[in-house]
Amino acid sequence: MKSTLKLSLKANEKLYINGAVIRPDRKVSIEIMNDAQFLLENHVLQPEDASTPLRQIYFILQVMLMNPQGAPDARDMFRKSLPLLLASFGDEHILASLKQVDRMVAEGDVYGALKTIRSLYPAEQAALQGGNDREKLRDFEPLAMGAR
């Protein structure tokens, strides 16, 4: 049995599906009836907002969904960035979740990986504000930023 996903979009709200940008001119509900890689506009991270280690890795994975032609390069960047990110955190929950993100990306579930990363933002914020990862995170440097 195939599962379907019903989405409701407001007028002019963008939806990114398999690299295509869809923007309805009025409120609309759509059903995605098969597997598709998609991203809702409110989950799109702008380059200037990729200001923390997790947001930087999120941005890299986001490129894979929004720009299928650039997906191989983004995947390579993810593979190079993930070990640096894992070495930057001491929090076991974050580390376990990042390993899960790695598995999801390997299995082609980039959307699930993005959702998992978004769920880690509060833990990352706590680490940045004074947790035991603060000094390590300050030294984290992304491999690349701002591909538009």
Give the tokens for residue 18: 């398999």
**Using 50, 70 and 90 to split pLDDT, how confident is the model at 1?**
very low
Token duo for residue 104: 């999801």
**pLDDT at residue 71 greater than cutoff 50:** yes
State residue 135's pLDDT score: 45
In this structure, are residues 42 and 20 in contact, taking their beta carbons and an 8 Å threshold? no
pLDDT of residue 134: 43
d(CA 95, CA 100): 9
Question: Residues 99-122: what's their mean pLDDT?
Answer: 95
- Using the predicted structure, report yes or no on whether residue 95 has a pLDDT greater than 80: yes
On the question of pLDDT at 26 being above 50, the answer is yes
State the pLDDT at residue 58.
Answer: 97
Cβ neighbourhood burial of 144 (10 Å; 0-12, 13-18, 19+): middle
Helix or strand holding residue 20 (H, E): strand 20-22
Asked if pLDDT for residue 49 goes beyond 90, the answer is: yes
Tens of pLDDT, residues 113-146: 999 999 999 999 888 787 554 444 544 444 444 4
Burial class (CB in 10 A: 0-12, 13-18, 19+), 98: buried
Q: Do 105 and 78 touch, CB atoms closer than 8 A? A: yes
Given a cut of 80, whether residue 148 has pLDDT beyond it is no
**Residue 2 — very low, low, confident or very high, per pLDDT cuts 50/70/90?**
low
Query: How far is Cα 51 from Cα 47, in angstroms, rounded to an integer?
Result: 8
